[in-house]
């Protein structure tokens, strides 16, 4: 399968698409913004006039979009993927959306003999650039095996979790754990700073023990520099936790800790931090404790 379409060239999508080009795939791209399209065309991609145009030129279409409404519009709307799709097209939605929405979209796709996988990712912009994302996939096993070589160009871990929607269930679990880890890190480091102990020294002391984690090593060095440039924006984590809470409530599953972190994220949005990296959760605690966690403070 050599003809790949890619729709959605944002912080994550653009480097993911670039990695497919590096692996030699013929790539057709589309985004509502012209600049990222122009950048990828300069790197060897072809451009399309619409989502339908992408589908008409390719065998496998990847969507990487902010949320459910954008995915539904790109796939089901006027000028959408299904409008241009031929029978047998494989659609891989790598957006993070509600599991039930993935199932609904897949059902609509099947009416046109289009098979869909939901394949959200974890790792943020750095791993998107490196091509080392963790990719969680839901959908038919034969379609997964068909897509696996393409997905492996963008991720170091590609795992089929189960049927359609299960990839997004795994992503919601991932986002709960990440958010709670960042909040726990923030509480701990603000306590250290308020106690007059260097947060950087505390980080170095604990990172090799049981409290050490991928989240701690990814976010603490940035926090120490006061760097909240978005690798994954707070507003997107709000979206993911909203999907997690809605899904959990539909299933009768209480998520008390996720609910608490959701309120922290909402407070940060109210303070104008929604475009910053989710490592900026620490700013909520800094404000409460009247202290900053920075190297040298």
CATH of the domain at 114: 3.40.50.720
Question: Could you say which DSSP state residue 280 is in?
Answer: G
d(C-alpha 240, C-alpha 11), whole Å:
16
**Stretch 97-120: mean pLDDT:** 97
For residues 104, 105, 109, 115, the Cα torsion angle rounded to the nearest 10 degrees is -100
**Residue 145: both structure tokens together:** 């095996």
Contact 18, 41 (CB under 8 A): no
Residue 297 pLDDT greater than 60, yes or no: no
Pairing assessment for the beta strands 121-122 and 60-63 based on DSSP bridges: unpaired
Contact 15, 40 (CB under 8 A): no
Whether this model's pTM surpasses 0.85: yes
If DSSP codes are grouped into helix, strand and coil, which group holds residue 242?
Answer: helix
Residues 29 and 128 in one domain: yes
- 297 domain residue, yes or no: no
- 296 domain residue, yes or no: no
Residues 17 and 79 in one domain: yes
Residues 201 and 157 in one domain: no
Query: How many CB atoms neighbour CB 277 within 10 A?
Result: 22
- 32 domain residue, yes or no: yes
Per the residue annotation, which of 2, 23, 112, 171 is the catalytic one? 171
Tokens 């603490």 -> residue: 220
E strands within 132-174?
Answer: 133-138, 155-162
If DSSP codes are grouped into helix, strand and coil, which group holds residue 191?
Answer: helix
d(C-alpha 7, C-alpha 16), whole Å:
11
Residue 124 pLDDT greater than 90, yes or no: no
Residue 227 pLDDT greater than 50, yes or no: yes
Q: How confident is the model at residue 1 (pLDDT cuts 50, 70, 90)?
A: low
- 124 domain residue, yes or no: yes
Contact 231, 237 (CB under 8 A): no
Residues 38 and 151 in one domain: yes
Q: What proportions of the chain, in percent to the nearest 5, are helix, strand and coil?
A: 55, 15, 30
* pLDDT tens by residue, 165-174: 999 999 999 9
Residues 130 and 232 in one domain: no
Q: Among 164, 181, 215, which residue terminates a domain?
A: 164
CATH of the domain at 253: 1.10.1040.10
- 46 domain residue, yes or no: yes
- 294 domain residue, yes or no: no
Q: How confident is the model at residue 157 (pLDDT cuts 50, 70, 90)?
A: very high
**Residue 258: both structure tokens together:** 């996720």
Residues 282 and 194 in one domain: yes
Tokens 């809605």 -> residue: 246
Pick from 212, 189, 185: nearest CA to 201: 189
CA end-to-end distance (rounded Å), the chain: 54
Tokens 């049981």 -> residue: 210
What integer pLDDT is reported at residue 295 of this predicted model? 75
**Stretch 218-239: mean pLDDT:** 94
* pLDDT tens by residue, 4-26: 999 999 999 999 999 999 999 99
d(C-alpha 213, C-alpha 196), whole Å:
24
Residue 74 pLDDT greater than 80, yes or no: yes
Q: What is the mean pLDDT of the chain?
A: 96
Q: Among 106, 136, 164, which residue terminates a domain?
A: 164
Residues 37 and 181 in one domain: no
**Stretch 124-138: mean pLDDT:** 95
Q: Among 140, 164, 188, which residue terminates a domain?
A: 164
- What residues make up the domain containing 130? 3-164
Specify the number of domains making up the chain.
Answer: 2
d(C-alpha 101, C-alpha 117), whole Å:
12
Residues 14 and 125 in one domain: yes
Q: Is 171 marked active-site? A: yes
H/E element, 91: strand 90-93
Contact 292, 286 (CB under 8 A): yes
**Residue 204: both structure tokens together:** 């170095």
Contact 167, 117 (CB under 8 A): yes
**Stretch 36-41: mean pLDDT:** 97
Residues 237 and 264 in one domain: yes
* pLDDT tens by residue, 230-267: 988 999 999 999 999 999 999 999 999 999 999 999 99
Residues 188 and 271 in one domain: yes
- 119 domain residue, yes or no: yes
Residues 156 and 78 in one domain: yes
- 12 domain residue, yes or no: yes
Residues 280 and 256 in one domain: yes
Contact 264, 182 (CB under 8 A): no
Q: How confident is the model at residue 156 (pLDDT cuts 50, 70, 90)?
A: very high
């Amino acid at each position: 399968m050599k003809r790949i379409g890619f729709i959605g060239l944002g912080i994550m999508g653009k480097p993911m698409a670039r990695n497919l080009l590096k692996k030699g795939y013929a790539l057709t791209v589309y985004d509502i913004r012209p600049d990222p399209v122009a950048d990828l065309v300069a790197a060897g991609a072809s451009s399309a006039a619409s989502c339908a145009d992408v589908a008409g030129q390719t065998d496998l279409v990847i969507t990487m979009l902010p949320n459910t409404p954008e995915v539904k519009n790109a796939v089901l709307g006027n000028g959408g993927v299904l409008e241009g799709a031929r029978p047998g097209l494989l659609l891989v939605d790598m957006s993070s959306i509600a599991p039930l929405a993935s199932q609904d979209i897949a059902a609509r796709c099947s009416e046109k003999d289009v098979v869909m996988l939901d394949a959200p990712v974890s790792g943020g912009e750095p791993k998107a650039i490196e091509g080392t994302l963790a990719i969680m996939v839901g959908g038919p096993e034969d379609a997964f095996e068909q897509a696996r070589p393409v997905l492996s160009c963008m991720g170091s871990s590609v795992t089929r979790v189960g049927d359609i929607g299960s990839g997004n269930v795994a992503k919601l679990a991932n986002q709960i754990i990440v958010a709670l880890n960042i909040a726990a890190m923030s509480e701990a480091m603000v306590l250290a700073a308020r106690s007059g102990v260097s947060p950087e020294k505390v980080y170095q002391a604990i990172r090799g023990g049981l409290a050490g984690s991928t989240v701690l090593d990814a976010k603490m060095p940035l926090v120490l520099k006061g760097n909240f440039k978005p690798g994954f924006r707070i507003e997107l984590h709000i979206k993911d936790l909203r999907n997690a809470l809605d899904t959990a409530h539909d299933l009768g599953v209480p998520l008390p800790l996720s609910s608490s972190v959701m309120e922290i994220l909402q407070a940060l949005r109210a303070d104008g931090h929604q475009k910053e990296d989710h490592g900026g959760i620490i700013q909520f605690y800094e404000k409460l404790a009247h202290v900053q966690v920075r190297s040298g403070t």
